[in-house]
Amino acid sequence: MRTIGLLGGMSWESSALYYRLLNEAVREQLGGLHSARCVLLSVDFAGIERLQASGDWARAGELLATDARSLQAAGADLVVLCTNTMHTVADAITAAIDVPFLHIGDTTAEAVAAAGLTRIGLLGTRYTMEQPFLADRLSAAGLEVLVPDEADRDLVHRVIYEELVLGVVRDGSRRAYQQVVDRLVARGAQGVVLGCTEIELLIGPDDVDVPTFPTTALHAAAAVRAALAPAPSAGPPTIVG
């Protein structure tokens, strides 16, 4: 089993979900007392959030790249960034390490495409909904991406930062999110990407009438597949002489 490096803490609520999902998946696949082999580096989210708010993505990328190198040094065979929003600095992280980086956008795009959908709604932080780092990965897979209008983007973002990252889950916010999804569906969305790891604490497949694609669960499942995949064959020995 390969060691999964988790770069988390953004927020720790979603990182805890990652940890549970990884271990449940390994136990399901291997049985018995098996659990995921992983190392976790959990950052102080307050500092990262200040950089988000100020738009200093370059500095955020430097910090997370350094942390990713620490995960590799600690024995990680692959790195998982436990947040959607900070995938905006995925290139900085990838350039800093020599082990595979599993991009959350790729695992999500594969799942949506496999479901046969062509037009997908995207919920997330304002950064995720308005910047191209996730939408472009979906579009590259042939998907049309719809985001909420400005008022709905404000609502979705506010609930994430004022409630979900603090572990607060409110029925009123769930109903508000359901209405946002309904408006996306009315515009033609065939499903919705839950493009913020904390959103999965609030809504799931039973809360809306279209397929949902929970990025955290999809990302964790991909990490387990990578960790449990057979090592590539070295091929037959070379005979000299």
Q: What is the rounded distance in angstroms from the CA atom of residue 37 to the CA atom of residue 22?
A: 9
pLDDT classification of 230: cutoffs 50, 70, 90: confident
Q: Which fold does the domain 105-215 belong to in CATH?
A: Rossmann fold (3.40.50)
> Considering 82, 83, 197, 216, which one is annotated as catalytic?
83
Q: What is the maximal distance between C-alpha atoms in the chain?
A: 76
Does residue 67 register a pLDDT over 50?
yes
Does the N-terminal peptide bond of residue 11 adopt cis geometry, omega within 30 degrees of 0? yes
For residue 65, what pLDDT is reported? 98
Polymer length in residues for the chain: 241
Q: What percent of the chain has pLDDT over 70?
A: 96
pLDDT of residue 14: 86
When pLDDT is averaged across residues 198-224 and rounded to a whole number, the result is: 93
Q: Other C-beta atoms within 10 Å of 115: how many?
A: 12
If you average pLDDT over residues 201-221, what whole number do you get?
A: 94
If DSSP codes are grouped into helix, strand and coil, which group holds residue 65? helix
Please, which pLDDT band fits residue 74 given cuts at 50, 70 and 90?
very high
For CA atoms 155, 105, 204, 33, the dihedral sign is negative
Per-residue pLDDT at 240: 39
Q: For the chain, what are the domain ranges?
A: 4-102+220-228, 105-215
Same fold: 4-102+220-228 with 105-215: yes
Mean pLDDT of 181-208: 94
Say how many C-beta atoms besides its own lie within 10 A of residue 82's C-beta.
28
H/E stretch holding 90 reads helix 90-96
Mean pLDDT of 56-78: 97
Beta strands at 38-42 and 4-8: parallel, antiparallel or unpaired: parallel
In the predicted model, what is the mean pLDDT of residues 73-90?
96
Is residue 196 part of the annotated active site? The answer reads yes
Taking the model in full, what pTM does it have?
Answer: 0.86
Kindly state the tokens that stand for 51.
């950089």
3-state class (DSSP) for residue 6: strand
Question: Rounded to an integer, what is the distance from CA 67 to the centroid of its chain?
Answer: 17
Q: How far is CA 211 from CA 87, 109, 235, in A?
A: 23, 14, 42
pLDDT of residue 237: 43
Tell me what pLDDT residue 13 has.
Answer: 87
Find out whether the peptide bond into 70 is cis, omega within 30 degrees of 0: no
Kindly state the tokens that stand for 230.
Answer: 């057979």
Percent of the chain with pLDDT over 90: 90
Kindly name the residue from 82, 85, 196, 212 that is annotated as catalytic: 196
Listing DSSP states for 101-113 in one string gives EE-HHHHHHHHHH
CB 87, CB 134: distance < 8 Å: yes
Which pLDDT does position 98 carry in this prediction?
96
pLDDT at 239: 42
Pick the CATH number of 4-102+220-228 from 3.40.50.1860, 1.10.150.120, 3.40.50.720, 3.40.50.11400: 3.40.50.1860
